[in-house]
Amino acid sequence: MKYTTLKSIQTDLYTGKITCRELVEFYLKNIKEKNDKLNAFLSIFAEESLLKADEIDLKIKNKSAGKLAGMVLGIKDLLCYKDHISQAGSKILEGFESQFNATVVQRVLDEDAIIIGRQNCDEFGMGSTNENSAFGPCLNEIGENRVAGGSSGGSAVAVQADMCFASLGTDTGGSVRMPAGFCGLVGLKPTYSRVSRWGLIAYASSFDCIGPITKTVEDAALLLEIIAGKDEQDSTVSNLPVENYSVFNSGAVKYKIGYLKDAVESDGLQVEVKTETLSKLAYLKSQGHEVEAVNFPLIKAFLPTYYILTTAEASSNLNRFDGVRFGHRSSTATDLMSLYKKTRFEGFGKETKKRIMLGTFVLSANYYDAYYTKAQKVRRLIKDYTDKLLETYDFIVCPTTPTTAYKLGEKTADPIQMYLGDLFTVQANVVGLPAISIPNGVDENGLPIGFQIMAGAFKEKELLAFAKSVGV
């Protein structure tokens, strides 16, 4: 019963070959068989997803089902789902039950998607491998003891291992695209403000985006079409109309494409990643597209800018978790100050503590101008230069990651090597532009390689159409 497109699922649903209940049973069976090893799901909503399936089967019979009927979804543990636990992969939110639905969750439910469970992730989205989760790492289904990528590792592996059909993840510096690349899937990060962040547990508010992880570009486009658009609950969301992303033009369009020379020619690039990327560029040329190398003088500033600003925002966002209002509360506290200190010490993981302290440091009075203000200025320079490039080129392309999925624990001892995994993905978040990772072959161990495409602001329709046309 393996399906790769929602269209094929709905064809079988509407012709009576399968039912939604049978679909949910198929995914629940896979979860039962695989999740103990892969650790992709933290909670499984078995009974309610079966009841929802029966409800949608009736709607299909009455021809009143929504656009996502038959889509069995998982949601990352950063998205609020009413009357369900939301913990952000952290002990600090132990026992917290959401009082409302995130806007994206409500929108997929309104179109009859079935949410089957809550997925593992790096704590508060802080990580590139899913090894920073308070609930243990999530493992890639391909290869032995390979990381899933982060922070939406559980969301990607669940789709990869057929434990659900698609997932909603979040992307602050590549957290949808990196795991999609490591797992051989499609991962889409929309333009900042294209999708409401209401109900997303914040890490870095000016970087966070919600995006789909799917097996095809078509289904990523359909999900974006459903979740995008204005929202009265989020003052930062764009009011621009949502286009018909899932309607693709049949005519061939020739584009001008720039590839990041420093990325493609880097000595740190895994040999197979470089080979497959060059092969993809040659294919684009053979299809009549104009492909040119572009220099980006600020490429070395991507990661420092990203980490200074995101840790600063994390320091501000995470100070609400104090043991007073919700979540974990230390049982050994003797006064208010010890309550704050002990609750945070017990509740936050090592990586989260490190980023909070770094953020607090760069926001401190003595260092604010030296780090935070300077990083904001560099962010503007990176954005201006990126926008200038996109006046000449329709898309900017590069590998999604410098390597394929590495072994569990391989990078944890060296945080610099860990952070370098985000080198090619953080640019889109720093400048707020849409980017997508699509599968691009495998290495000698059969581990997937990702190819990233970035477009101008709110150019998702063109980005998705191009990604579909060049996907393998």
pTM of the model: 0.97
Nearest by Cα to 89 from 121, 116, 118? 121
Tens of pLDDT, residue by residue over 106-157, are: 999 999 999 999 999 999 999 999 999 999 999 999 988 999 999 999 999 9
Largest CA distance in the chain: 71
Residue 388 a catalytic site member: no
Residue 76 a catalytic site member: yes
Determine which one of 76, 189, 215, 411 is catalytic.
76
What's phi and psi for 157, nearest 5 deg? -65, -35
User: What one-letter code names the amino acid at 98?
Assistant: S
When pLDDT is cut at 50, 70 and 90, the band that residue 418 belongs to is low
Pull the structure tokens for residue 332. 């050994």
Q: Which domains does the chain have, with CATH numbers?
A: 1-472 (3.90.1300.10)
Nearest by Cα to 313 from 353, 343, 355, 346? 355
Say how far apart CA 361 and CA 201 lie, in whole Å.
Answer: 23
CB 231 within 8 A of CB 196: yes
pLDDT of residue 422: 85
Calculate the CA 443 to chain-centre distance: 23
Rg of the chain on CA atoms, in Å: 21
Residue 175 a catalytic site member: yes
Over range 433-458, report the average pLDDT: 98
Over range 76-94, report the average pLDDT: 97
DSSP at 171? E
Tens of pLDDT, residue by residue over 282-319, are: 999 999 999 999 999 999 999 999 999 999 999 999 99
Assess whether pLDDT exceeds 60 at residue 186.
yes
Would you list the DSSP string of 82-135? Answer: TTSB--TT-GGGTT-B-SS--HHHHHHHHTT-EEEEEE--SGGG--SSS-S-TT
pLDDT of residue 414: 66
pLDDT of residue 158: 98
pLDDT of residue 268: 85
Give the Å distances, CA to CA, from 249 to 157, 308, 457, 468. Answer: 31, 41, 20, 11
Determine which one of 49, 133, 151, 238 is catalytic.
151
List the beta bridge partners of residue 138. Answer: none
pLDDT of residue 410: 85
Please give the helix or strand (H or E) that residue 207 lies within, else none: none
